[in-house]
């Protein structure tokens, strides 16, 4: 795509070290802003998971919260899409109940809930200005999990356990 002039560049923006989820999100936002700065009139497309793309606070199971990456980007210049499937499975890394360290994270296919009525394929804008995403991208199909192309990180093990 670069040779064809369709894209200018691809940038890796994941932080290599952070002490908290909030700091991690903040560092990602700063890396994206720095990458986009040389070309302020160019579209910057960022591919991330749905929590990173939220433009509202994310609440942790323990009651804590933080602002995800998209919420830290300029609101008037940021659009986010939340991908919505019709159930199926996704490859996820989860911390089992009672686990206390990152070494206990288990990665593998996890079931996704199916909606009562399947969604049709399409994009639907959120009209609520306080919505977590600019729009929902409805796949119109079930998702299927696949293992990552890169081996699971040290301290993590593959698992087919459900939540």
Confidence at residue 148, expressed as pLDDT on a 0 to 100 scale: 82
Across the range 108-131, mean pLDDT stands at 94
Q: Which two structure tokens, joined as six digits, stand for 57?
A: 């606070």
Q: What is the count of structural domains for the chain?
A: 2
One domain, residues 88 and 71: no
Confidence at residue 64, expressed as pLDDT on a 0 to 100 scale: 85
Instruction: Identify the CA nearest to 52 among candidates 15, 3, 16.
Output: 15
Contact 71, 80 (CB under 8 A): no
Confidence at residue 151, expressed as pLDDT on a 0 to 100 scale: 64
CB count in 10 Å sphere of residue 70: 26
Helix (H, G, I), strand (E, B) or coil at 74: coil
One domain, residues 43 and 86: no
- What percentage of the chain exceeds 70 in pLDDT? 92
Final residue in a domain of this structure, among 78, 97, 116: 78
Final residue in a domain of this structure, among 47, 78, 109: 78
One domain, residues 85 and 33: no
pLDDT score of 156 more than 70: no
One domain, residues 84 and 70: no
State how far the Cα of 107 lies from the Cα of 117, in Å rounded to an integer. Answer: 29
Confidence at residue 153, expressed as pLDDT on a 0 to 100 scale: 57
Confidence at residue 44, expressed as pLDDT on a 0 to 100 scale: 84
One domain, residues 74 and 85: no
One domain, residues 86 and 38: no
One domain, residues 86 and 70: no
Reported as a pLDDT band with limits 50, 70 and 90, residue 81 is very high
Reported as a pLDDT band with limits 50, 70 and 90, residue 56 is very high
Q: Which two structure tokens, joined as six digits, stand for 99?
A: 């686990």
Domain that residue 65 falls in: 1-78
Q: Higher-confidence residue: 121 or 62?
A: 121
One domain, residues 84 and 163: yes
């Amino acid at each position: 795509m670069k040779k064809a002039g369709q894209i200018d560049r691809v940038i890796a923006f994941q932080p290599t070290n952070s002490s908290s989820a909030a700091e991690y999100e903040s560092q990602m936002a700063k890396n994206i802003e720095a990458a986009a700065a040389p070309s302020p009139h160019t579209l910057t497309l960022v591919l991330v998971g749905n929590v990173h793309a939220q433009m509202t606070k994310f609440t942790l199971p323990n009651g804590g919260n933080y602002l995800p990456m998209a919420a830290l980007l300029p609101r008037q210049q940021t659009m986010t899409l939340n991908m919505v499937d019709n159930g199926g499975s996704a490859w996820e890394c989860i911390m089992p109940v009672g686990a206390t360290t990152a070494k206990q994270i288990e990665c593998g296919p996890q079931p996704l809930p199916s909606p009562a009525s399947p969604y049709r394929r399409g994009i639907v804008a959120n009209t609520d200005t306080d919505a977590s995403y600019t729009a929902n991208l409805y796949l119109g199909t079930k998702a299927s999990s696949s293992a990552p192309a890169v081996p699971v990180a040290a301290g993590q093990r593959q698992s087919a356990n459900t939540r």
